[in-house]
Amino acid sequence: MIPASRSRAFARAILSSHGSRHLSSSTSSTPITSVLIANRGEIALRVGRTASELGVRCTTIYTDPDAHSQHALSSPFAVNLGAANAYLDGERIISVAKEQGCEALHPGYGFLSENSAFAKRCVEEGLVFIGPPWKAIEAMGNKSRSKDIMTKAGVPCIPGYHGTNQEPEYLLEEARKIGFPVMVKAVKGGGGKGMRIAFNEQEFLDKLESAKSEGRNSFGDDVMLVEKYIGTPRHIEVQIFADKYGNAVALGERDCSLQRRHQKILEEAPAPNLAESIRQDLWEKARAAALAVGYEGAGTVEFIFDNDTNEFFFMEMNTRLQVEHPVTEAITGEDLVSWQFKVAAGEPLPLDQETIAQRISERGWAIEARIYAENPSQNFMPDSGKLIHLRTPQISQSVRIDAGFIEGDTVSSNYDGMIAKLIVSGPTREVALGKLHAALQDYEVVGLSTNIEFLKKICKSPAFIRGEVETGYIQKYNDELFAPESVEPETFAQAALGLLAKELSGSGVPASQGPHGQSIGFAPSSQRQFTFLTSTGSDAELVQVSINQSGRNLFDVVVNGQGLDMTYTNVICEPLAPSISTFFPHTRIESTVIADGDKITLFQRGKQTRLTLATPSWYEKALGLKDVANSILAPMPCKVLRNEVKEGDTVEKDQALVVIESMKMETVIRSPQKGVIAKLVHKEGDICKAGTVLVLFEEVDEAVASVAAN
């Protein structure tokens, strides 16, 4: 067990001797009364809540795709910027702030929050920029320069090349000197973008070009640095705060090692299995980093921690509020956005280091899970779409949700796919982890793919429970985390009963009027048959459910297929829309059943199951549906960045075909088979809807293919 309360007498003694001064006199401050929130989604709403509590008038901005978003509707003072990329139009945003009579501007995170030129322009135009001085942003925004500053300040840095020579062959030579594997990283990057790992010399140049491309698209800059890649690293970061009077404090550390595509999905504080002496050294080095650049406001100093040697190295400093700041708020009891407003207004830090350390020692553990629109089973491919059903866990003192969407909203492919942040706290890590799993079981999302089921598996992963975290955790435990799960026969029964309940209640399209539910016999309500697919791939198996209604809410149910042969008699099913409560002979099950076309989603006993109603062969023929196995479809709305093959090329299974961009992330579409490229349907720069054909293969005669296979 990892205790939340630990002896910190030694630590507090150190911090008392080195702690920052808490100035309550000889200071001047001017309260902020109006602010423009230059961001969107949950962070815009988060900043707006605190601003309103402080009596600050808020102006929000939005774009055409966000016209009906929650942040756009949250304030009577809302201005439409137009195009989807207008959140990056700094001059227009500054102009809006002045037109609306705003005294200050809060950048949130992402977009322009770490743009030093934008911060400088705000100051030049008389706006209070609620963030650090532009010179500090500039210094820390360039990864090469920031590492030079940190080295001079005595903060350890990872070995690497941070120079100006950007010739690919020169960078390759530097990589050889450092020793593979190496990390190639955009110097102005962040959020996992513009980063690639090259494990050997042969793949270095390809990884370099991919990282440069993503850097250009995300930050308008493709200057790279090359660093030694640590094999079993942890990502540990320290939340710091500083004011204009020379005070700087560390508000504890966060472990953000659970990542995919170099982006965080779980964050916790404190960091598990970390020696107290190392913890305090991290805090002290983070404060030194802040003081080295004359920092003011909220910032995060990120470190790579080597699990093998217990050494840590400076990675970068994020000169803004972090996505995961709520876990720090939970373990300190402080509102960090409120701190931002106070520091920007010229007030000194509200607490000194010793008080903060005492708070953290007493307040236990906090964990944040990011709820993303993505498909973990397809390499966490981003998804988008309308939230046709959304049910969230019950909010309490220990369960918090920061979200930017409600049921009926659309998650757009134009922006990051984070739907919400779920934050839980408890007296120990074990209690907090149990609360997180329980809250995830209460989360229901239909309309797009999410990572919720994957997060549940993380919560139950033995090594994670033991706190044995590292950034390669998902790859290391891939077989465990992606192990296939069987579907219980009662789940198929509930799916069929739920569909029938919707028909009998008059909601939705009656099953007997479509191809999926077929009436048998002359009595219209006497019997139904539904056929389900557990997946839509080549390994899909059919399961048939027959329902015989023998009385009001009384049914006999037979489930056949996929190794199942179950009969349930005298089943009582009570519709509760959109749920059903069913009394089987051996148990009672309550399920939420949501139908979206032929896609059926069930939530029962804390688990989500997705099924597809099988389309009968006669129905396919009637509609003239054709086999599209010889084509590759766009998995989501996207932009084609480049085609990796040419028409007429012979390709192997898993060979890269097309590189697309969606939600600011590059995704490589690979060939599902060996074959010959007949047509590349789209060229570089084309915008495609989900389901659009990207690549066509030449059709192969089945007889010829059979002979070739033999």
Helices and strands: H and E segment counts in the chain? 21, 40
Residue 72 near residue 59, CB atoms below 8 Å: no
Q: Distance between CA atoms of 268 and 252, rounded to whole angstroms? A: 11
Cα(240)–Cα(367) distance, rounded to whole angstroms? 19
Q: 8, 261, 320, 528: which one is catalytic?
A: 320
Q: How far is CA 155 from CA 45, 118, 133, 161, 285, in A?
A: 36, 28, 21, 17, 6
The size of the chain, in residues, is 710
The crossing angle, in degrees rounded to 10, of helices 134-141 and 143-152 is 100
Could you give the 3-state DSSP secondary structure of residue 304? Answer: strand
In a 13 Å sphere around the CA of 687, the CA atoms on its Cβ side amount to 3
Beta strands at 34-37 and 57-63: parallel, antiparallel or unpaired: parallel
- At position 154, the amino acid (one-letter code) is G
Distance CA 113, CA 132 (A): 10
Rounded Cα distance between 75 and 59, Å, is: 6
Q: Judge contact between 211 and 186, C-beta under 8 A.
A: yes
The pairing of beta strand 193-198 with beta strand 224-228: unpaired
Q: Cβ–Cβ contacts within 10 Å for residue 200, how many? A: 10
Q: What are residue 70's phi and psi, to 5 degrees?
A: -65, -35
Give the chain's radius of gyration (CA, Å). Answer: 28
- Joined together, the tokens standing for residue 387 give 């939230």
- Map residue 512 onto helix, strand or coil: helix
- Report whether 263 contacts 191 (CB < 8 A): yes
Q: Which SS3 state, helix, strand or coil, does residue 409 take?
A: coil
Half-sphere exposure of 693 (CA within 13 A, CB side): 13
216 a catalytic residue:
no
- Non-local (6+) Cβ contacts of 89 within 8 A are 81
Instruction: Report, as residue numbers or ranges, the catalytic residues.
Output: 320
